[in-house]
A and B are shown apart, each in its own frame.
Chain A
Amino acid sequence: MMNTNGRNGRNGQTIEQSIPVIEIANMTKIYQMGETAVHALNDISLTINEGEYVAIIGTSGSGKSTLMNMIGLLDNPTSGSYRIRGTETSELSQSQMADLRNKEIGFVFQRFNLLPRTNARRQVELPLFYAGTPGGKAVQMAREALAKVKLDDRADHRPDELSGGQQQRVAIARALVNNPSILLADEPTGALDSKTGDEVMGLFYDLHQQGMTLIVVTHDNDIARQAKRIVTLRDGKIISDERNGHTVLHPAEWARGGDELVTNGPVKGEAIAISLPKEGERVYESA
C-alpha cells in the first residue's frame, strides 16, 4: 500500500500539502420554483487538491448535479465563493466562464455527447478549436490524447463505428486534450455495461496514477468506492466527506476480489447496500 502511495507522491498524506485546485466556500444555490425557493446547494464548502480522485454521490435531488454544474462552471452560485486554481469565478461573465471551462475543465458525460458523423480525431480537436490552437498543433495534441486512451488506431473512426466503451474513451481524450486542471465526469459508466464500465474506470485509475485530478459524480456506490475520497450530498448539504484511506484499486483487482487490500474502507458486497442509499431510495427520510 505504501509503495503505491509513494509511486507518484500524490496519494496518502501528501495530499494535505498539495496545491488546492478547487476551493468552494459557503456556496449556496437557490432555484425559484414558482412560490417556493429550493436550496439546491445549502452553504457548501469543499476543497479538492491537485491529484485527488473524488467521487460525489447522492440521490437525485441531493444537489450533486447542481454542485457538478458549479464545479464545471456551467452555472453561477447564488452566493458564496468558488476558486479554481486560485481564480475567483462567482462574478465571471458567461464569456469568461466559457474560457475557463475550455482551459481548466475536461467534461465526461454519461451519454458521451460526441458529434454525429465526425471522426474521433476531430471530436478530440473540438476544445482546441475554441482555444484557438493552430491546426497543425491541434492535430498533434489530439493524436497524443487519443494515445492516452489507447485509441490512436481508431482516429479516423466515427462514433457509429465505435463501441460504447470506445466512444466514452474518445470523450475522455476530448476532455484531456487541452490539459485541464480537473477531469469532471458525470455518471461516466451510466450508459455502459459492467465490462466496458470497468474499462473506463480502469482508464480513470491510470489517469489518477499519472497525477490527474478526477471528480466523478455518480449515484453508483461501486463506482464511488473506486475513488480515494467520497463526498456524499443530501438535501443540498455535504453529509459526509470520507477519505477512505485505502489504496485506490484498479477495477481489475476489484473484479478479482481485492478486498484484502482494503484496510479500513467499506467492503464490497451487501454491507455497502446497507450503509449507503441507492438511487431512488429515500433512505434518509426514514433514517
Chain B
Amino acid sequence: MRALRYFSVAVDSIVAHKMRAVLTMLGIIIGVAAVLSTMGIGSGAAASITESIESSGTNLLTVSAGGGGGSSASTLTIADATALANSKAFPDLALVAPQYSESATLTQSGEEGTYQVVGTTATYADVTSLDMASGAFFTTEQVENNERVVTLGWNVASDLFGSAEPVGQTVRINTNLFEVIGVLEEVGTVSRSGSIDDLVYVPIEVAQGLLFNADRYRGSYTVSTISIQVASSERIDAAELQIEQVLRLRHGLGADDENDFTISNQADILEMASEVSGTLTVLLGGIGAISLLVGGIGIMNIMLVSVTERTREIGLRKAVGAHNSDILLQFLVEALLLTTMGGLVGIGLSYGVAFIAGAIPAMTFNIVIEPWTLTLAMGVSAASGLLFGLYPAMRATQLDPIEALRYE
C-alpha cells in the first residue's frame, strides 16, 4: 500500500499545524453533526408519530358520514352498523362500534362546562382499547336499556369533581341527570378529534334520542362515525372492500354515484405520517448536507492556502526526488485524514446533541441517530476530503520545482 506511507507524512503535517488542522476540520465537524442531528430529529419524530398511531390500533377502520361530494345530510345510520356487525356475514369485521357525537353542557354542583358527548356502544371500549381509572365503561345491557349512565374523560372528571371520586355521583348533561359509572385513565395524546381526556361517553341511543334528537335516515338514527376493528391486519383491504360494497348497496347508490361515506384506514394514516416524516428527514438532511458542502469548500480553501504556504516544501520534495504522484497522494491523504477525523468528531458531537436533547423534558421525542446515517456521514466526509482535496493537490503537483524553491 503506497498510500499508507503518506499517512505518517500527513500525520506529521497535521501535528505541525494543529490550529490550521482544527480550523479545517471545523467545517466538516459542524456539517456532520448537523446532518446527523437533523436526520436524528427526523427519525425521532417519525418514531414518535408511528408509536402514537400504532397505540390506537393499526387494524382500525373508521367509516365517516359524508363522501367526497359533500352531501348535505348524513346517510350513515345505526342500521348500517348493525348490518356490518353481523359476524356470520362478515367474519373479517371483528368489532363494530357506531358513534354519534355532539357538544353539550355538563353541570355538577355549580361546576359547568361544555364538552363533546359521544354516544356509542359497549364495544367501543374494546375497539379503542380504553383503560379505566375507576369504575367501568357501560355494558351492552346498559346500552340496550338506554340507561342514563356516563363515563367521563379524565379532564372532564377533574373539572367537575375536582379531587372527589365521581363514580356513583350524578352529573347533569343539558337538563338530564346521568349517573357517573366510570372515569377513563388519563391519555394525554391529542388525536384529530381532540384529546380523549376531554370526552364524555353515554349509551348511543340515549345521545341520539334523549340528548340530541338526532336525524333519522330511512327510519334509523344517523351516526357520525363507525369504528371497526378488523380481525387481522392482512384482511384490512378485503374488509374495506366489503364495507364499501355493503354500504353502497344499503344506501342504494348506482354505479355512477360516489360514496356518501368515507373509509379511513390507520395504515393509510401511518403511511402518510411516515411519508411526512420522511420528507422532513430529507429536508433537514438536505440542510445539513448544505452545511457539509460549505464545510467542504472551507477545506478546499484552507488546503489551497496550505499549498501556497508550503510551496517551498513542495519544491524541496520535488528536488529530492518526489514524483508528481507523490505530491498528489500526500495532499490527498492529508485532506482525507482531516475530513475523516472531522467526521468522527462530528459523530461524537451529534451524539452529544442527542444526549442533551434527550435530557430536555419539553422535547416530546428523542433524537434517534440510525447506524446507516453514521456510515453515510463517514462516507460523505471521506468523499468531501477526496473531492475538495483533489484540486489543491493538483495545484501542488503542477508547481514548477524551480519556481517553488525560489518562492518567498
A residues bordering B, Cβ < 8 Å? Answer: 69, 72, 74-75, 94-95, 98-99, 101-103, 107, 109, 113, 115-118, 122, 126-127, 129-131, 174, 178
Given A69-B402, A75-B402, also A118-B321 (CB < 8 A): no
Q: Which of B69-77, B147-155, B216-224, B312-320 contacts A (4 or more CB under 8 A)?
A: B312-320
- A sample of 15 cross-chain residue pairs with beta-carbon separation below 8 angstroms, ordered by A number, consists of A69-B402, A72-B319, A74-B319, A98-B318, A98-B324, A101-B318, A102-B321, A107-B320, A113-B313, A118-B16, A126-B316, A127-B320, A129-B5, A129-B9, A130-B322
The 10 A-B residue pairs with the shortest CB-CB distance in the complex, in nearest-first order? A102-B321, A117-B16, A130-B321, A127-B320, A113-B316, A98-B323, A107-B319, A130-B322, A101-B321, A95-B323
Q: Contacts of B402 on A, CB cut-off 8 Å?
A: 69, 74-75
Max chain A C-beta neighbours (<10 A), residue from B12, B319, B326: B319
Please state if B16 and A74 are interface contacts (CB–CB under 8 Å).
no
Closest B residue, CB atoms, query A105 = B319
Q: Contacts of A116 on B, CB cut-off 8 Å?
A: 16, 313
Q: Contacts of A115 on B, CB cut-off 8 Å?
A: 313, 316
Q: Contacts of B15 on A, CB cut-off 8 Å?
A: 117
Q: Contacts of B313 on A, CB cut-off 8 Å?
A: 113, 115-116
Given A94-B324, A113-B312, also A126-B16 (CB < 8 A): no
18 further A-B pairs in the complex, CB-CB below 8 A; given A75-B402, A117-B15: A72-B319, A74-B318, A74-B402, A98-B322, A99-B323, A101-B321, A102-B320, A109-B405, A113-B312, A113-B316, A113-B405, A115-B313, A117-B16, A126-B317, A127-B321, A130-B317, A130-B321, A131-B321
Please state if B405 and A126 are interface contacts (CB–CB under 8 Å).
no
Please state if B320 and A126 are interface contacts (CB–CB under 8 Å).
yes
- Specify the main secondary structure of chain B where it touches its partner: helix
Contact with A along B223-261 (1 / 0, CB 8 A): 000000000000000000000000000000000000000
Closest B residue, CB atoms, query A116 = B16
From the candidates B317, B321, B401, name the one contacting A99 in the complex (CB within 8 A): B321
Q: Report the separation of the CA atoms of residues A94 and B398 in the bound assembly, to the nearest whole angstrom.
A: 11
Q: Tally inter-chain residue pairs, CB-CB below 8 A.
A: 61
Return A161 CB to nearest CB of chain B, in Å: 14
Q: Report the separation of the CA atoms of residues A122 and B12 in the bound assembly, to the nearest whole angstrom.
A: 10
Among B360-408, those with CB < 8 Å from A are 401-402, 405
Q: Report the separation of the CA atoms of residues A98 and B397 in the bound assembly, to the nearest whole angstrom.
A: 13
Return B12 CB to nearest CB of chain A, in Å: 7
Return A73 CB to nearest CB of chain B, in Å: 9
Contact with A along B287-328 (1 / 0, CB 8 A): 000000000000000000000000011011111111111100
Q: Contacts of A131 on B, CB cut-off 8 Å?
A: 321
Closest A residue, CB atoms, query B325 = A95
Closest A residue, CB atoms, query B316 = A113
Q: Contacts of B316 on A, CB cut-off 8 Å?
A: 109, 113, 115, 126
Return A113 CB to nearest CB of chain B, in Å: 4
Return B250 CB to nearest CB of chain A, in Å: 87
Q: Report the separation of the CA atoms of residues A54 and B84 in the bound assembly, to the nearest whole angstrom.
A: 111
